Amino acid sequence: MKSSAPPAPPSVSDVARLAGVSPATVSRAFNAPALLVPDTLQRVQRAAAQLGYQPYGLARSLRKRRSMVVGIVMPSLRYAYYAGTLELLQGLLAREGYTVLLSTANHDPQAELDGVRALMAQGVDFVVLFGRPLHDQSAPLLALRGVPHLRCWSALPDEPSVAFDHGSAMADVAHHLVALGHRRLAVVIPFVALADRFRGRLTALREALALHDLALPNDAVVDDSGLDAPAGRTAWRTLRERGQQPTAVICSNDLIAAGVILECQAQGLRVPQDVSVSGYNDSALAGAFEPAITSVQTPVELHAQEVARVLLAALRDRQPVPCLRLPTHLQVRASTGPAP
């Protein structure tokens, strides 16, 4: 006995009959909903939901000469900030009918370039490169092929981008600590794990300290740790093994800062009375930790919203992609205080 064929999916005509409108009105409801009065739009949407109707995306993309797909190249999804930004950005783009195609590089330069090539082969409309450049040819290849793109979170000067001003943020941290009387500072930023060849945050920090006639010894920089709390604990032990006795430690995220604080406390040191510690990103952990962690605010919501806004302006209105720098703010809390 032959099995019966699966039922045909609902069509535009089926939705139109149930909603009591023309097929053209159904088409407008999905392609140009602003042209319909709210009552008509709601009738079409209810009918489509009742029937389980989905518009045929390929046909729409062919009419618009777009794939309606945005490619995103991420350095990694292991860190909460990266994953949170991706989730928000994907939701914002989905509201406008775009699908996200993701490539993760695991901080490997060749994997980033391979991801860019794979996304171009899929004919994506736009590519978002997340984080500092890993491969020198990724962005130039997109430009050569005429693929609209931007870099987000962190970018080089004059690069099409939506990024935070991390240099200014590090200067704010340095000035805050110096104003509290600190003269012996240390830094924990895992440049090696991040494959960060440019080390812009470290340069900005050294320049800010130089304004106060202060230098940052190489032994006071831990650049080969991880990005979690255990790495912060290890980094503090490394500093002490090197003979460093900083009164303040600047960390590249709040998890590392928490680890440094825990290790200081395990060694009988008080934070901030003996050692001040600052973090970065102002995650939920920063305000909930004991003591609460002084941290740089880099709002995930602002980041995702601005990337989506610039991306959609480029696709819809043919607007050029700017070099946009988002503001940061130093949220001072109990983990930093006067130098001992």
The mean per-residue pLDDT over the stretch 169-180 comes to: 98
d(CA 151, CA 111) in angstroms, rounded, equals: 16
Q: Which three-class secondary structure state does DSSP give residue 180?
A: coil
pLDDT per residue as tens digits for the range 309-339: 999 999 988 899 999 999 999 999 999 999 9
Structural domains in the chain, sorted by start: 12-55 (1.10.260.40), 65-164+300-325 (3.40.50.2300), 166-298 (3.40.50.2300)
Whether the predicted pLDDT of 243 surpasses 90: yes
pLDDT value for 201: 93
Mean pLDDT of the chain: 91
pLDDT value for 6: 55
d(CA 262, CA 270) in angstroms, rounded, equals: 10
pLDDT per residue as tens digits for the range 44-53: 889 988 887 7
Q: Report phi then psi at 71, rounded to 5.
A: -90, 140
The two three-digit tokens of residue 25, written as one number: 């009105």
pLDDT per residue as tens digits for the range 55-99: 655 445 444 557 889 999 999 988 888 999 999 999 999 998 899
pLDDT per residue as tens digits for the range 3-36: 455 566 778 888 899 999 988 888 788 777 777 8
The mean per-residue pLDDT over the stretch 177-192 comes to: 97
Tell me the three-class secondary structure of 268-335, residue by residue: CCCCCCCCEEECCECCHHHHHCCCCCEEEECCHHHHHHHHHHHHHHHHHHCCCCCEEEECCEEECCCC
d(CA 194, CA 107) in angstroms, rounded, equals: 6
d(CA 114, CA 103) in angstroms, rounded, equals: 9
The mean per-residue pLDDT over the stretch 136-152 comes to: 94
pLDDT value for 67: 81
pLDDT value for 280: 97
pLDDT per residue as tens digits for the range 274-313: 999 999 999 999 999 999 999 999 999 999 999 999 999 9
DSSP state string for 26-83: HHHHHH-GGGS-HHHHHHHHHHHHHHT----HHHHHHHHT---EEEEEES-SSSHHHH
d(CA 224, CA 235) in angstroms, rounded, equals: 9
Q: Report phi then psi at 118, rounded to 5.
A: -65, -40
Order of strands across the sheet with 221-222? 221-222, 185-188, 248-251, 276-278
pLDDT value for 62: 43
